[in-house]
Each structure stands twice: as structure tokens, then as C-alpha cells.
Amino acid sequence: MADKLQLTIEDVWNQAKADDYASVLDGDTYDSRLVFGIKIAYDYETEAVTLWNTGKGGDFYNVIEDLEPFLQHGWRYGVYITALDNYKFKLDKVEQSMRNEINGKRNPKQIKSLKNQRVKLLSKYNYISEKLNQIK
């Protein structure tokens, strides 16, 4: 991997703009794209490119600080790596909730609901893993 040139954040933005799968979320003073909960935006006023993780953080988007996957391997690779991290985080939360429910109230409906959530998250995780393996 050392022989591969590092991309600039502008290169990543151009890849995102060219991504046909990305949702276009343009505003008056910015252009942005969204794929699997990862948003990238170009601000016309500041000429800054910013990446946000919409899958964590509750009511607010978190700015993605670790840009290495994006700069080393490109837009889609970074999206997949970040999305997988989000799904792992959500799976851990669901599994913790299941343990708490099993050791606590033992509400069968809640346990079934958590199991269904886990199945859906695992399905999404596996889908993204397959996509990542296709571009490696």
C-alpha cells in the first residue's frame, strides 16, 4: 500500500460527486452527498470539504476525524469502513440491551424485538462487508 499515492480531500469529494449511488443533498451554499450514513459536503463560502458520520451521535452528526481510509483508498472504501464501524457499534448496543433484558425484566416481546434488530443489523453488516471485499 505504500506505493499508492495519498488522495487529497478534494479528490475524495470528486469521487463522491461522481458516485451514482450517492444521494444528492445540495443546498444554497454547499453541495453534499450521502452514502450509507456517511455525508460529505463542499462549502462554497469556505471552500472546505467536511465528512460527517450520521450513524452515530444521536441528534447531531459527528465530524469524521480519521480521514485515513478515505485519503488512502478513496471515497467508497472509507464509506464502507466507517459504515462497518457504525454497524459494529449498533450491534454491541443491541447485544448489551439483550443481556440486560435477559438478566432483568425478561420481557419476551422486548427480547424478540432486540433479536429482530440484531438480525437486521447483521444483514446490513454482511452486505457492506461483501461490498468492501469487492473493491479490495
pLDDT per residue as tens digits for the range 10-40 = 999 999 999 999 999 999 999 999 999 999 9
The continuous run of DSSP H or E covering 135 comes out as: helix 108-135
How distant is the alpha carbon of residue 106 from its chain centre?
Answer: 32
Tell whether pTM > 0.85. Answer: yes
Q: Which residues contact 80 (CB under 8 A, 6 or more apart)?
A: 36, 128, 131, 132, 135
pLDDT band, residue 86 (cuts 50/70/90)? very high
Instruction: Report the half-sphere exposure of 45 (CA within 13 A, side-chain side).
Output: 4
pLDDT band, residue 1 (cuts 50/70/90)? very low
How distant is the alpha carbon of residue 1 from its chain centre?
Answer: 23
Domain ranges in the chain are: 9-135
The continuous run of DSSP H or E covering 52 comes out as: strand 49-53
What integer pLDDT is reported at residue 4 of this predicted model?
62
Summarize the confidence of residues 76-83 as an average pLDDT: 97
Q: What is the average pLDDT score of the chain?
A: 93
What integer pLDDT is reported at residue 38 of this predicted model?
97
